[in-house]
Every structure is written in C-alpha cells, then in structure tokens.
Amino acid sequence: MKARIPKNYNGGTPTNIQQLARQAQKMQEEMDAASTELEAKEYSATSGGEAVKVTVSGGMEVKSIDIQPSVVDPEDIEMLSDLIIAAVNEALRKAANEKEEVMTKISGGLNMPGLF
C-alpha cells in the first residue's frame, strides 16, 4: 500500500514549521485580545421574576447583587439564598458560554491545551 502525500507537501521543510508557528502565534494573540475584552464585559441574570439580579464580570467575579425588598423575609432566608444562587449561576454561565463561543470561533474548533 502506498502512502498518499498531500499536495503542496515539500518534505516538512522548516518554512512550513515557521509558517505554522506564525499562525499559532497569531491565533494566540487574537485569543489573548478576545479574552481581555471578554473579561471587561459584564453579564447579568435575574431569578424569582427579577426579585434578585446579579451582575458578574467576564473574569467570573460577582460585581453586584440587587435584591427587591419584597423578597426579604426573615422567616424564609433559604428562599432568598436559592434565588441568589440561581441568579449567580446563570450570570456565570452566560459569561462562560460567550467566552467559549468566541474562543472556538478564533481557534476554528481546535482543542489546543494551554491556549485558553
């Protein structure tokens, strides 16, 4: 059985490796720029019919939690806690999903450990 050599293959000369390295470096620079931009963005989510609103940064830090006074019931702290957790998790999910979408678009779907 003969091996098929791809067209434009010139034996793996250093110019191909250098070109690949330049492409990888360009991709890394684009990913770094996108990551910096995403970390500056803010994502918000609500729960309990907007009784609780949470805003997080693209860097996955909670920026603010707004609670409507009507849901503050000293007898039912557990419900308030559940509303806060739900809103925080949804806001973090939004931030993570956008980052994954942007990075996948830049990398063309390549899974390259250590790049992001």
What pLDDT digit, counting tens, does each position of 4-57 carry?
Answer: 655 555 555 556 888 888 888 888 899 999 999 999 999 999 999 999 999 999
| 110: helix, strand or coil | coil
Q: Distance between CA atoms of 20 and 14, rounded to whole angstroms?
A: 10
> Each residue of 56-102: pLDDT tens digit?
999 999 999 999 999 899 999 999 999 999 999 999 999 999 999 99
- What is the pTM assigned to this prediction? 0.69
What's the token pair of residue 94? 């939004």
| 114: helix, strand or coil | coil
Task: For the beta carbon of residue 54, count every other beta carbon within 10 angstroms.
Answer: 25
Q: Read off the DSSP letter of residue 55.
A: E
Q: What are the sequence ranges of the domains in the chain?
A: 14-107
Q: Distance between CA atoms of 2 and 70, rounded to whole angstroms?
A: 76
Q: What is the CATH number of domain 14-107?
A: 3.30.1310.10
